[in-house]
C-alpha cells in the first residue's frame, strides 16, 4: 500500500450543506475504490492564485489515504466529473 494525498478545491458559490455533501462524495469515491482514508484536513476558504470559472476564492480540502497504485487514477477520473470541484490533484507521499 502506498500513501497518497488528494487536494480538492471546492466552489465557494455553493451552500455549506452542498459543499459538505461534495466532500462526502469524494471520500466515498476513495473508499469505494479500495482506499483507506487516514486524515482529512479542511483549510477553509482561501483566495485562489488566479481566477478560475469567474471565482477568486474557494474551499480547500486535503485527504490523506492509503491505497494500491491503481486507485489514484480511478479517483481522479471520478472527481474530474464532479460539478462543484474546481481543481483536484492526487500526489504520492514519500515514505519517511
Closest to 6 measured CA to CA, from 92, 89, 96, 93 = 89
H or E element at residue 63: strand 55-67
How many beta carbons lie within 10 A of that of residue 47, not counting itself? 7
Q: Which three cell numbers stand for residue 78?
A: 471520478
- Domain positions in the chain: 2-92
Give residue-wise pLDDT tens across range 5-49.
999 999 999 999 999 999 999 999 999 999 999 999 999 999 999
Complete edge-to-edge strand list for the sheet that includes strand 85-92? 36-52, 55-67, 2-11, 85-92
What integer is the mean pLDDT of 61-70?
A: 94
pLDDT-derived band at 78, boundaries 50, 70, 90: very high
> What pLDDT, on a 0 to 100 scale, did the predictor assign at position 91?
95
Q: Which three cell numbers stand for residue 46?
A: 482561501
What integer is the mean pLDDT of 53-65?
A: 94
CATH superfamily to which 2-92 belongs: Ribosomal protein S6/Translation elongation factor EF1B (3.30.70.60)
pLDDT at 96 over 70: no
pLDDT-derived band at 1, boundaries 50, 70, 90: confident
Amino acid at each position: 500500500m502506498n500513501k497518497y494525498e488528494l487536494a480538492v478545491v471546492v466552489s465557494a458559490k455553493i451552500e455549506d450543506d452542498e459543499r459538505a455533501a461534495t466532500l462526502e462524495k469524494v471520500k466515498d469515491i476513495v473508499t469505494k475504490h479500495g482506499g483507506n482514508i487516514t486524515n482529512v484536513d479542511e483549510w477553509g476558504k482561501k483566495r485562489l492564485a488566479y481566477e478560475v470559472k469567474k471565482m477568486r476564492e474557494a474551499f480547500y480540502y486535503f485527504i490523506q489515504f492509503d491505497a494500491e497504485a491503481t486507485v489514484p487514477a480511478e479517483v481522479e477520473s471520478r472527481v474530474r466529473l464532479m460539478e462543484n470541484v474546481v481543481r483536484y490533484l492526487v500526489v504520492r507521499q514519500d515514505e519517511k
